Amino acid sequence: MKTLLRIDASARRTDNDKPSYNSISKSLAQLFCDHWQAQNNLSEFIYRDLGDQVPPAITQDWIAAVFTPEEHQSTEQQRLLALSDCLIDELQRADIILISTPMYNYGMPAALKAWFDQVIRINRTFSFDLKRGDFPLRPILSGKKLVLVYSCGEFGFGEEGIRAGMNHLSPHIKTLSHYLGVEQFYEVRSEYQEFADERHRASIKAASASLTELALKI
């Protein structure tokens, strides 16, 4: 029995009258979910549509609350941390994390960054100890798998691609995933959305095939 946490980050929905307006990353995430759920005994499915409900940006008061020991937190500080507590609880329960996201301005959408800022939190998802020398941070969670599926308008964002150096999306999420307790990281990418040509159709087809295969494997 496994728990799947699905995080969608596109501002677009998947029920538009015009299918070309639909989110590609959310559609691909749905495909993965359908195949994965057909193969696995699901104990719980947790879903967050960050495009629909954008987490708030953290503030100075939020940071102060995080660094206040729990027993000394005021009611107002507990209220400020309530969403973060809830998102971290969802993350802790997850065996598999599925993140679907668009590439916006060569990186992740602000909504997804806001989610990471809410969940990567001292003494909850990572510990900090200067006795560890130059690398004082250490994740608290472990053993999780992460599937990242993302969609881009341009192309060439793979390791050998012509825009490899402009991909600030998947390398960033891979770095952060360490602090979610992720030990196995998989990524699937669809490209060429802005060209809307045969290359785009082929890219979606290849991404769909990779996700179907991955759903059988993990």
Q: Which residues bind ligand FMN (CB under 6 A)?
A: 10, 12, 23-26, 102-106, 151-154, 193
Nearer to ligand FMN, 153 or 161 (CB): 153
Q: How far is the CB of 174 from ligand FMN (least distance, A)?
A: 18
Check residue 211 and report its DSSP letter: H
27 marked ligand binding residue:
no
CA 35 to chain CA centroid, nearest Å: 19
| 204 annotated ligand-binding residue | no
Q: Is 170 annotated as a binding residue?
A: no
Minimal distance, residue 53 CB to ligand FMN, in Å: 16
- What gap in Å lies between CA 7 and CA 114, rounded to an integer? 12
Residue type, 89: D
Residue 29 near residue 100, CB atoms below 8 Å: yes
> What minimum distance in Å lies between the beta carbon of 155 and ligand FMN?
7
**Burial class for 51, CB neighbours closer than 10 Å (0-12, 13-18, 19+):** buried
25 in a known ligand binding site: yes
Cβ at position 92, least distance to ligand FMN in Å: 27
What residue has token string 């360490």? 178
Residues forming the annotated binding site for FMN? Answer: 10, 23-25
Residues forming the annotated binding site? Answer: 10, 23-25
